[in-house]
Amino acid sequence: MTLLRVEGLTKHFPVRGRGLVRAVDGIDFAVAAGETLGLVGESGCGKTTTGRMLVRLLEPTGGRIVFEGRDISHLGRRDLRLLRQDLQIIFQDPYASLNPRHTVGRIVAMPLEVNGIRPPGGVKQRVRELLELVGLNPEHYNRYPHEFSGGQRQRIGIARALALRPKLIVADEPVSALDVSIQAQVVNLLRGLQRDLGLAFVFIAHDLAVVRHFCQRVAVMYLGRIVEIGDREQIYERPRHPYTRALLSAVPEVTAPARANGRIRLAGDVPTPLDPPSGCRFRTRCWKARDVCATTEPALTNGVACHFPEGDDG
C-alpha cells in the first residue's frame, strides 16, 4: 500500500538579482507503508530540501505530495496539525536540534504538548516509555541536553519524533554528525524501530554505505533530479547510471577489493543549481556524454534517467 507519493515535486528559491536556485526540479517517487527509501546524493542535489518539503517545513513551488491518498502539498496550518502526527522528522545535528534550555522530558513531550494530546497514563509515563524505547535511562527525564553525548542526544531527537506515533519519519542525515563507533548504534536502533513499529522511512544521507544498511529502496539524486531509483540490490550491485557508478566507486573503503578494479574518477565539481547544464545535468562530468545529452533531458524510465545506461551498451 502506497503511503506517500511524490509527483513532479519542485522547489525553486529566488536569489536576489541572480535568478532561481532550482534546488529540487521535478521529482517523483513513492514510499509504501513500512518501507525505507534512501535519498542519496552530494551536497546541492536537493535531498535535504526534499525532506523538508515532505514534512512541510518548506512550501513546494510545484508538484504534489500525496500522503495516504490526500494531497498535502498546500494544506493550511490547521489541517497540517493532524498530518504532522503521522509525519515526523529527525535532524542531523544532535546539538542544534534540542532546545538547550529544556529538560529531556520537556523536549520529548513537546509534540504531545503542542498538539494537546494527553496519553493514557500521563505525559510523563509516555515520555519514560519513549526514552526506554530509544535505549536511554528513563530516569534522565529531568536532565538537560548538555549533559548527554552526541549519540545520546540523537536518541532524544528520535524519541521526540516517535512521540506522536508517526507512520513515516524523514531522517535527514541522522548519523553523519556522530562518531564512527556511535553511528552503528544509532543505525541499529533505527533499524530495530523500523522493524518493530512498522515505520516507513525516507532516509536522507550522503553516506552510501550507511544507506545500504538501512534502506530497501534507494533514489540517487543529482542537481535537483532523481537520476536512478531502484531496489537496494539493483543500485549497489548493478548500478546503471554513470553517476551512481562513479559515486559508488569514489567511496574509500578499508575492505574494498583490489583497488584498480573499475575505479572511476569524476572531473570537476557539481555545477551550480542556479544554472544547471542543458539536457542531462550530469553530462558535464560524464565520460559517456554525447551530443544528444546536451540537447535532450533523459526521462526516468525503468528507474534510470540516462540516454546510455549501463547494461544497454554491452
User: Interaction with another protein in 1-40: which residues (CB under 8 A)?
Assistant: none
Find out whether 163 and 186 touch, Cβ atoms under 8 Å. no
For residue 271, what is the DSSP state? P
Site for another protein in 91-120 (CB under 8 A): 91-93, 96-103, 107, 110-111, 113-115
State the alpha helices, DSSP H only, in the chain: 47-54, 77-86, 104-114, 123-133, 150-162, 180-197, 208-214, 232-237, 242-250, 291-295
Q: Which is nearer to another protein, 8 or 100 (CB)?
A: 100
Minimal distance, residue 197 CB to another protein, in Å: 17
Helix, strand, coil percent content, the chain, rounded in steps of 5: 35, 25, 45
Exactly one of 64, 212, 245, 288 binds another protein (CB under 8 A); that residue is: 212
Using CB under 8 A, which of 69, 120, 181, 258 touches another protein?
181
Rounded Cα gap, residues 223 and 20, in angstroms: 13
Q: Which is nearer to another protein, 152 or 296 (CB)?
A: 152
User: For residues 46-65, which are near another protein according to CB under 8 A?
Assistant: 55-57
| Cα distance between residue 258 and residue 226, in whole Å | 30
> Does position 241 bind another protein by CB under 8 A?
no
> Toward another protein, which CB reaches closer, 62 or 135?
135
Backbone angles phi, psi at 209, to 5 degrees: -70, -40
Residues paired with 37 in a beta bridge = 202, 217
Choose one: 63-71, 176-184, 287-295, 304-312; the region binding another protein (CB under 8 A): 176-184
Q: How far apart are CA 48 and CA 205, in angstroms?
A: 9
Q: Between residues 41 and 309, which has the closer beta carbon with respect to another protein? A: 41
Taking the complex as a whole, the smallest distance from the CB of residue 109 to another protein amounts, in Å, to 11
Q: Which is nearer to another protein, 181 or 301 (CB)?
A: 181
* DSSP string covering 15-63: ETTTEEEEEEEEEEEEEETT-EEEEE--TTSSHHHHHHHHTTSS--SEE
Q: Say whether residue 209 binds another protein (CB under 8 A).
A: yes
Binding segment for another protein (CB under 8 A), chosen from 20-28, 66-74, 261-269, 306-314, is: 261-269
89 binds another protein (CB under 8 A): yes
Per-residue DSSP letter, 204: E
Of 28 and 93, nearer to another protein (C-beta) is: 93
Edge-first strand order for the sheet with 2-15 is 19-32, 2-15, 62-67, 70-71
Per CB under 8 A, which region of 5-13, 61-69, 120-128, 254-262 contacts another protein?
A: 254-262
Q: Does 253 bind another protein (CB under 8 A)?
A: yes
Taking CB under 8 A as the criterion, the residue among 255, 291, 299, 301 binding another protein is 255
Q: Which amino acid is at 56?
A: R
Q: Which is nearer to another protein, 274 or 292 (CB)?
A: 274
